[in-house]
Chains A and B, each alone.
Chain A
Amino acid sequence: MPDFKAEIRARLAELRLPPVREAEIVEEFSQHLTDQYEAAINRGASEEEARQAVFQDLNASELLNRELKRVERRAPANAVIPGREGKLFADLGQDLRFGLRTLIKNPGFTIVAVIALALGIGANSAIFSVVNAILLRPLPYKSPDQLVVLWENATHLGFPKDTPSPANFLDWRKQSTVFEGMAAFAERSFNLTGVGEPERLDGRRVSANLFDVLGVKPIIGRTFVAQEDQPGTKVVLLNESLWKRRFGGDPAVIGRAVNLNGEPYTVVGVLPPTVRLPTSGNWRDQVWVPLAFPSEEAASRGAHYLEVIARMKPAVTLPKAQAEMDTIAARLAQQYPATNTRIGAVVKPLHEEIVGKMKSPLLILLGAVAFVLLIACANVANLLLARAAVRQKEIALRLALGANRMRLTKQLLVESVLLSLVGGVVGLGLAYFGLNVLTRFIPHDVAQADTITIDAKVLLFTLAVAVITGLIFGLVPASQASHFNLNETLKEGGRDSGAGARGKRLRNSLVIAEVAISFILLVGAGLLINSFVHLRNLDPGFRADHLLALNVDLSEVKYPDTQRRTTFFAEVARRVQTLPGVRSVAVAGNLPLTINGDSTFIAVEGIPDPPVDQWPDVIYRTVGPGYFATMGIPLVRGRDFNDQDTLDTTPVVVISEKTAKHYWPNEDPIGKRLKPGATTNTTPWRTVIGVVKDVRQNDFIAEPKMQMYFSYRQMKDLGANALVVRTSVDPLSLGTSVRNTIWSVDKDQTVANIDSMEHIVASAVARQRFSMLLLAIFAGLALVLAAVGIYGVMSYSVAQQTREIGIRIALGAQRRDVLRMTVKEGLKLVGVGLLIGLISAFVLTRVMESLLFGISATDPVTFGIICVVLLMVAALASYIPALRATTVDPMVALRAQ
């Protein structure tokens, strides 16, 4: 039969009809002619006669064209080429509608893709919310970029950022010219009494100008004035929550006297909750009083406990400020060699000081979630590729009918962006719920953690991520669709043309990428988990289990001397000891890992004092009898303190093993004498009576430093402010009864921070736990997504080979062999992915070094375990589809397609 279509098409060419319309007319005409031709043959005409008869009609093509021209519209000259002026969005509505219809028509595909994208985008939104709140949001102060923190630099003594002493701070403030203002503050706790239950409040002594330096305005009242920065002034600022909680938010509180530490303070103002000064621990300021140095304190260069904030003048840069501080520090070192030799000054941006510790874990997490999203993208791209294979016929037809490749690509991209936008919306929901959980694991001392929320910036970020994601995973199938060879596709007649070499190569590379990225994430998580295990296995130096800790801050007014304090604590200890579930109880000064303990250099009898800049510090704690036994700190030599060690007996000291080894490496330290400060100090010598194991006092991670302990009964200053209780039951269950017992001794006494020592240790590694937990979650997510990806590709590839497998089995191949062949193919991809992942991880995990503990960034054990895990998951993901394929009846398989 003649090719009518070609003939008709040739005759219609001149009309330049729209392609779809032309195709329709060609088909209709050719059918008519075919019918005519067949009818002629049936009537007995020869093929040639039939052909002539048919063409006779058609040859009146002038007529045809004239007639058609009357009814048919020409194709518009610039039909649907996007990119032209004003045309870019012309078809967007149509594309969107079409895309939406396509997605709804394939609910299975859409749901799987949306879930993968929602997980990836949601994880990104959640982590970005945290990054946004902690790293990106400016501090709630006036021009926060100008605010800096000043430290003393005593690197040679192990304190690269040491808290300045009052005299140094005052000199800095007097001599510097680069700052608009400089203010200092120091933590101090207060007992609030006289209004309801007694309460211990975190607070600070602050320079009168601190709030001017920060640029903080009070909610009501005023801040301090310069004259109030003098001893004897009793004025106080409250924070908003305390004001609301204890004073009902009554504005009349201004001018009222409140009882703090047994003394009346006049309230002058209330500050907003945004005032958050840098803190080393869990300190939440509720009250502020003027710093008001007494003259002897103002002259002290040896006591380092201040923190200093300054505001640089507008034109001053950080290096310039640093340079001036260097000059001042050098001058002070010359002027006061005894205390200031080699002591420098460090200027750091306030923002860095407040959020610095969270920066690298957060950035690593942000990188990790980006990886998770990439894996999700690879998965969806794979799904799209598989679907593109199915849709190839549709696409080929559209191309054949004259669809513009650009337009087609755009259509496919619109579809994928639409998909990822839906994923983004669902992901935002996931992020919202995820954040509720996430914020619980953020260490309490992280500033601005309570401002984490999904705000406009997060929404914008999510939108951007969704659109970019859609473009990334949509580009692969779209470019493939617009590149494929039309002839080939049509020739293959739509039969599995998706398995063309190009499609297969693409799918395989996506699997390889997924495996490589998952490997990096898993190794990262593995290293952190390993570090965390190492951390948790660190011996803190005491037994943290079954240990209750609480703060009992005595008022200096009510308990002004050692005698009264000793009586109080002895009575409390006696009564607590009788409570059921209590094994032992002891009085303590600062507990390990709660507050950075004080330290001092010491003089040792018989050893000359070293030069100032080589004099090591020793951390000291003030404790009561029974402390070591209650804490579970092993006594190595000598004895513990007892009730006979009082102000009237020989001053004694217990030292740590490290101190003993340093000063008496080859001798028994028991009976030797030392004292805080220099030999020339007038303080009495203290006799060493015992040696205990080292304890991690300030920093859980760093190696313990030298330590010593005094008995609070031998201290004139207030030393003890805590109780530790060894219990035989859950320690927290005794909290209330211990508190009530203390109140039975003194009903006005505050009790605060009731906590288990186990929890205190856990908090010390909270930041590490935060990073570890999140990275582990994301790595787990990555593993699941990668497994799904491998499974998907293997299923597809096996489904394509069903016929081949059927033939092999029909020809006598063992199912086992077929199984092995298929799994091997999967594992080959995984192997390549692993290799790439291994090399990349080797490089990338180095950025994590600062987060790791007790393990190298290239720990071979972790790398090895992750390899095995990933291989096993991959093997399983290839095994299941392979198994399914081999159980297919060969006859059915052969009939397939």
Chain B
Amino acid sequence: MSLTYMATPVLDRELKKGSAELMILSLLEYRPRHGYEIGQLIELRSRGAVRFNVASLYPLLYRLEKRNWIRGRWIEKSGQRRRRYYRLTSAGKKMLAKQRHGWAEFVAAVKLITATQHA
């Protein structure tokens, strides 16, 4: 069953919040991206299942920045407006590894439970 279908607003928010940090950190693992791009990628890669609006995406980015996991920087590329690009800090990289591991364990645990129920 898909996440969207199951989600009540509360669950949706909690789940999203736990996973959202992981998603953003993952997206920044190999290259810096600006906010719109991050939003687009999340929507694209989840095939529309997860979608952030401005009002939640940016506060999240700012929080990550405040924790020093990511760092935003205004960059002006020729022919473009200047944009704020976020990249992963070394603290962010460690956190990403940790969260990935935790998430994998969590998913496995959920799978175990849900699988048993159906079996």
- Using CB atoms and an 8 Å cutoff, list the residues of chain A in contact with chain B: 24-25, 27-29, 31-33, 35-36, 56-58, 60-61, 63-64, 67-68, 70-72
Contact = CB atoms under 8 A, between A and B. Distances in A.
5 nearest A-B pairs in the assembled complex, by CB-CB distance: A67-B59, A64-B55, A57-B53, A35-B36, A71-B62
B59 A57 contact: no
Interface of B: 34-36, 39, 53-60, 62-63, 66, 81, 83-84
A31 B81 contact: yes
B55 A67 contact: yes
A64 B59 CA distance: 8
Nearest to A72: B62
Contact of B36 (A31, A58, A61, A67): A31
A5 to B, nearest CB: 13
B91 to A, nearest CB: 17
Contacts of A61: 55
A457 B8 CA distance: 81
B112 to A, nearest CB: 34
Contacts of B39: 32
A68 B36 contact: no
Nearest to B35: A32
Nearest to A61: B55
A51 to B, nearest CB: 14
B84 A67 contact: no
Nearest to A25: B58
Contacts of B83: 28, 31
B36 A63 contact: no
Contact of A29 (B54, B56, B60): B54
15 contacts: A24-B84, A25-B58, A27-B84, A31-B34, A31-B35, A31-B36, A32-B54, A57-B53, A60-B53, A61-B55, A63-B56, A64-B59, A67-B60, A71-B59, A71-B63
Contacts of B34: 31
- Residue from the set B36, B39, B54 with the largest chain A CB neighbour count within 10 Å: B54
Contacts, number: 52
Contact of B59 (A27, A31, A32, A70): A70
B58 A57 contact: no
A29 B57 CA distance: 10
A35 B60 CA distance: 19
Contacts of A33: 54
A24 B53 CA distance: 18
B99 to A, nearest CB: 19
A35 B80 CA distance: 12
Contacts of B81: 31
A29 B58 contact: yes
A33 B39 CA distance: 12
A32 B36 contact: yes
B54 A57 contact: yes
B84 A28 contact: yes
B35 A58 contact: no
A36 B55 CA distance: 14
A70 B17 CA distance: 14
Contacts of A35: 36
B35 to A, nearest CB: 5
A538 to B, nearest CB: 77
Nearest to A8: B54
A64 B56 CA distance: 6
A64 B60 CA distance: 10
A64 B34 CA distance: 19
Contacts of B54: 29, 32-33, 57-58, 64
B35 A68 contact: no
A61 B56 CA distance: 10
B61 to A, nearest CB: 9
Contacts of B35: 28, 31-32
Contacts of A25: 58
A70 B59 CA distance: 8
Contact of B58 (A28, A36, A56, A60): A28
A25 B74 CA distance: 12
Given A32-B36, A57-B53, A68 B59 contact: yes
Contacts of B57: 32
A392 B32 CA distance: 34
B55 A58 contact: yes
Nearest to A69: B59
A544 to B, nearest CB: 79
Given A29-B58, A32-B57, A60-B53, 20 more contacts: A28-B58, A29-B54, A31-B34, A31-B36, A31-B81, A32-B35, A32-B39, A32-B54, A35-B36, A57-B53, A58-B54, A58-B55, A60-B55, A63-B55, A63-B56, A67-B59, A68-B62, A70-B63, A71-B59, A71-B62
B117 to A, nearest CB: 34
A63 B55 CA distance: 6
A56 B35 CA distance: 18
A67 to B, nearest CB: 3
Nearest to B51: A57
B69 to A, nearest CB: 13
Nearest to B64: A71
A443 to B, nearest CB: 68
A25 B55 CA distance: 11
Nearest to A58: B54
Contacts of A32: 35-36, 39, 54, 57-58
- Residue from the set A24, A28, A36, A60 with the largest chain B CB neighbour count within 10 Å: A28
A6 to B, nearest CB: 16
A10 to B, nearest CB: 14
A23 to B, nearest CB: 11
A831 B70 CA distance: 65
A25 B84 CA distance: 10
Contacts of A68: 58-59, 62
B34 to A, nearest CB: 8
Nearest to B65: A71
B70 to A, nearest CB: 13
Given A31-B83, A71-B62, A72-B62, A36 B36 contact: yes
A28 B83 CA distance: 7
A229 B69 CA distance: 98
Contacts of A24: 84
A33 B55 CA distance: 11
Contacts of B55: 57-58, 60-61, 63-64, 67
Contacts of A70: 59, 63
A63 B9 CA distance: 13
A4 to B, nearest CB: 10
A58 B56 CA distance: 10
A61 B58 CA distance: 13
A60 B59 CA distance: 13
A61 B54 CA distance: 10
Contacts of A63: 55-56
Contacts of B36: 31-32, 35-36
A64 to B, nearest CB: 4
Contacts of B62: 68, 71-72
A793 to B, nearest CB: 36
Nearest to B83: A31
A594 B54 CA distance: 97
Contacts of B58: 25, 28-29, 32, 68
A56 B55 CA distance: 10
Nearest to B81: A31
Contacts of A57: 53-55
Nearest to B54: A57
A36 B59 CA distance: 18
Nearest to B72: A28
Contacts of B63: 70-71
A58 to B, nearest CB: 6
Contacts of B66: 71
Nearest to A68: B59
A603 to B, nearest CB: 105
A642 B103 CA distance: 131
B30 to A, nearest CB: 22
A35 B81 CA distance: 11
A33 to B, nearest CB: 7
Nearest to A67: B59
